[in-house]
Structure 1
Amino acid sequence: MALVPYTQNSVPALSKLHSSSAHFRFANHDLRVAQDWRQLGVAAVVWDAAVVLCVYLEMGQVDLKGKAAIELGAGTGLVGIVAALLGAKVTLTDREPALDLLSANVKANLPPDLQGSAVVSELTWGEGLERYPTGGFDLVLGADIVYLESTFVQLLQTLEHLCSDCGAVLLACRIRYQRDTDFLSMMKQRFTVQEVFYHQERDIHVYKASKLSPKMDL
């Protein structure tokens, strides 16, 4: 969501993310995902949460075949690409500056017969949501998108708008600060939320959220 510019030596612990590409194998495909930390910052590197969400999708706990999925804050596109390889029709979204890199990664990593299974689209949370069908997606995906408290209201609004009544939201994140648990508390006011996977080595949680049924007046 946020595009944070690169500053030389500002984050030494993240030096491994400065590589121009990252390599993975998911869904029986070798994937090479381009990164561009210097130009786009956090939007253009593969974070652990994305990898763990891909691991969870590959486990087959969620039926992806033929499902309409949308990824928020897609960044490099790894999660959306893997979802498409596993059979979903995916819309990968991010803010406008990230779209060229995102599009290039989708084109480079999906075989010709699946190119039509993924489209790239601009989306800033809470803005222009009318361009996307209300409740139009069976699955809303997000990896490490819960980190800017100032965006929480808009993010929740976007999740509610996109997710179908019978669909689900899958969020992968590391619980770092009180703000992270605060967002989960906000979600629980609108969704049923449960933890469905935890990757101990990477310390990443995957949460599944479904819309609460409307209360019936007695």
Structure 2
Amino acid sequence: MALVPYVENSLPALSKLHNSSARFRFADHDLSLAQDWKKLGVAAVVWDAAVVMCMYLELGRVELKGKRAIELGAGTGLVGIVATLLGAHVTITDREPALDFLTANVKANLPQHFQESVVVSELTWGKGLEQYPAGGFDLVLGADIIYLEDTFKSLLQTLEHLCSDTTVVLLACKIRYERDTNFLSMLRQQFKAEEVYYEKERDIHIYKAYKLPPKGDL
């Protein structure tokens, strides 16, 4: 979501983020995602949460074939690309400055016959939501998008708009700070949310959420 350029960091643990590409194999396809930390910062590198989300999608615990999915804060597009390869019709979104980079990754990693199943689109949370059908998606995906407290209200507003009462929301994240837990508390005011997966090595949690009915309907 946030396009924050970062100064080069010499810590070995972060060195992979400065590589020009990141390679994976998901859904029986070899993927090579371009990265550009210096230009676009956090929006242009593959974070562990995206990798773990793709692992979870491959487990088949969420139906993807023929489903309408949208990825929020897509960054490099890894999650949306894998969801497309697994059979979903995917709208992959991020803020406008990241779109050219995102589009190039999508085109480079999806075979031609998958291209008609994916759309790359601009979405700044909380703004221009009328461009997207209210409750129009079966699945909403977000990997490592819970980290800027200033965006929490607009993210929740966006989820509220995109989801019907049957939409599944999947959020992959680290729980780094108290504010991350606060977001989950905010989410649970509007959604029923539970942890469905935890990857210990990378310390990534995946939460599944469903929109709560209006209070008058409870």
Question: Structure 2 length normalisation: TM-score?
Answer: 0.97
What do residues 113-172 of structure 1 show as CA deviations (whole Å, max 9, x unaligned)?
101111100010000001111001110000000000000000000011011221111000
SS state at 2:167 partner: strand
Pair 1:187-2:190 in alignment: no
Pair 1:169-2:169 in alignment: yes
Which amino acid counterpart does residue 172 of structure 2 have in structure 1?
A: A
| Alignment partners' CA distance in 1, 2:124 and 2:153 | 12
| Alignment partners' CA distance in 2, 1:164 and 1:87 | 21
**1:52 aligned partner:** 52
**1:115 aligned partner:** 115
**1:140 aligned partner:** 140
Question: Structure 1 length normalisation: TM-score?
Answer: 0.97
| Alignment partners' CA distance in 2, 1:9 and 1:23 | 21
**2:97 aligned partner:** 97
Which amino acid counterpart does residue 76 of structure 1 have in structure 2?
A: T
Shift of 1:11: 6.2
User: Aligned residues, how many?
Assistant: 218
* Aligned 1:66-105 pairs, distance under 5 A: 66-105=66-105
SS state at 1:81 partner: helix
**2:22 aligned partner:** 22
| Alignment partners' CA distance in 2, 1:212 and 1:9 | 42
RMSD over aligned CA atoms reads 1.3
| Alignment partners' CA distance in 1, 2:41 and 2:190 | 32
Which amino acid counterpart does residue 31 of structure 2 have in structure 1?
A: L
Q: Give the percent of matched residue pairs that are identical in Structure 1 and Structure 2.
A: 76
**1:126 aligned partner:** 126
Shift of 1:9: 3.5
SS state at 2:155 partner: helix
